[in-house]
């Protein structure tokens, strides 16, 4: 059954840090960052209001390092700093293609980013500026998925778009299981009953409680974001 043609005007796009690394295992691939910026510009040109949260896993993974003995709080703050680095890199590429962009950080780095203030963020969006929310929630023990959904709730986003390396939600890992089945549409309860790991439970519960749909798609597909905005026929929709 085809999805209803829902219009998403204000979106929160969550991109994993690993996406910016491309084929590398570490760091930022400038060419790929330019490509992602061009894809975001394409939907920005459709008069969409866009908030973005980027992970930091291509630079530093706080959870992994804490498991090796580093203090968890210190490791999480280093991970938040990695998200700021990624955010500034993407801001630079977005502005090169003509998109007025602001980085707003939950941590104080005034030389690089504005402090996160909800009303100011909303005003930027209303003026059609892209807003990149950096620094996670500003607190340890929370993932960037949770930060993305929290910011999405605060700015009254119509949808949380999770840009990954796969084209939707599958019954199992399609990278490991060729028999994995892709879902076109799921309810929040379906995700729970099928035990599908699309984001951490705190983030997922925030979406469910606030009735914000989630779309999981392949951010590396050059047309995925545009086709989602235009036709709502891409990835997997959870609502």
For the chain, domains (ranges, CATH) are 10-238 (3.40.1160.10)
Residue 25 is predicted with a pLDDT of 80
> Could you tell me if 231 and 46 are in contact, meaning their C-beta atoms sit under 8 angstroms apart?
no
- pLDDT one-digit tens code per residue, 88-139: 999 999 999 999 999 999 999 999 999 999 999 999 999 999 999 999 999 9
Cα(172)–Cα(227) distance, integer angstroms: 25
Mean pLDDT of 47-68: 90
Give the helix ranges, DSSP H, for the chain: 17-21, 30-44, 62-67, 72-96, 118-126, 144-154, 188-193, 201-210, 224-231
pLDDT bin (cut points 50, 70, 90) of residue 63 is confident
Cα(111)–Cα(122) distance, integer angstroms: 22
Place of tokens 């090169």: 96
Q: Does the pLDDT of residue 1 top 60, yes or no?
A: no
pTM: 0.95
Q: Does the pLDDT of residue 83 top 90, yes or no?
A: yes
Residue 3 is predicted with a pLDDT of 62
Q: Can you name the residues that pair with 103 across neighbouring β-strands? A: 132
Mean pLDDT of 145-172: 96
**% the chain with pLDDT above 90:** 86
Cα(16)–Cα(34) distance, integer angstroms: 16
- pLDDT one-digit tens code per residue, 216-232: 999 999 999 999 998 88
Output the average pLDDT for the chain: 94
Cα distances (angstroms) measured from residue 211 to each of 152, 153, 207: 11, 9, 6
Cα(114)–Cα(102) distance, integer angstroms: 8
């Amino acid at each position: 059954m085809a999805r209803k043609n829902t219009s998403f005007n204000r979106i929160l796009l969550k991109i994993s840090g690993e996406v910016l690394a491309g084929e590398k295992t570490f760091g930022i691939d400038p060419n790929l960052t330019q490509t992602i910026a061009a894809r975001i510009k394409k939907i920005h040109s459709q008069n969409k209001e866009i908030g973005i949260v980027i992970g930091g896993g291509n630079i530093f993974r706080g959870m992994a390092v804490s498991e090796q003995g580093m203090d968890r709080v210190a490791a999480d703050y280093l991970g938040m700093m990695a998200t700021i680095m990624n955010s500034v890199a993407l801001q630079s590429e977005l502005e090169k293609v003509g998109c007025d962009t602001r980085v707003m950080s939950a941590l104080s780095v005034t030389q690089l980013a504005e402090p996160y203030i909800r009303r100011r963020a909303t005003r930027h969006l209303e003026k059609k500026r892209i807003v990149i929310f950096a620094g996670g929630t500003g607190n340890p023990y929370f993932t960037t998925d949770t930060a993305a959904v929290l910011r999405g709730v605060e700015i009254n986003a119509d949808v949380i778009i999770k840009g990954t390396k796969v084209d939707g939600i599958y019954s199992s890992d399609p990278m490991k299981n060729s028999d994995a089945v892709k879902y076109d549409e799921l309810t929040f309860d379906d995700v729970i009953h099928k035990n599908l790991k699309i984001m951490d439970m705190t983030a997922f519960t925030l979406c469910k409680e606030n009735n914000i749909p989630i779309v999981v798609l392949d951010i590396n597909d050059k047309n995925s974001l545009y086709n989602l905005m235009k036709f709502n026929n891409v990835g997997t929709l959870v609502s």
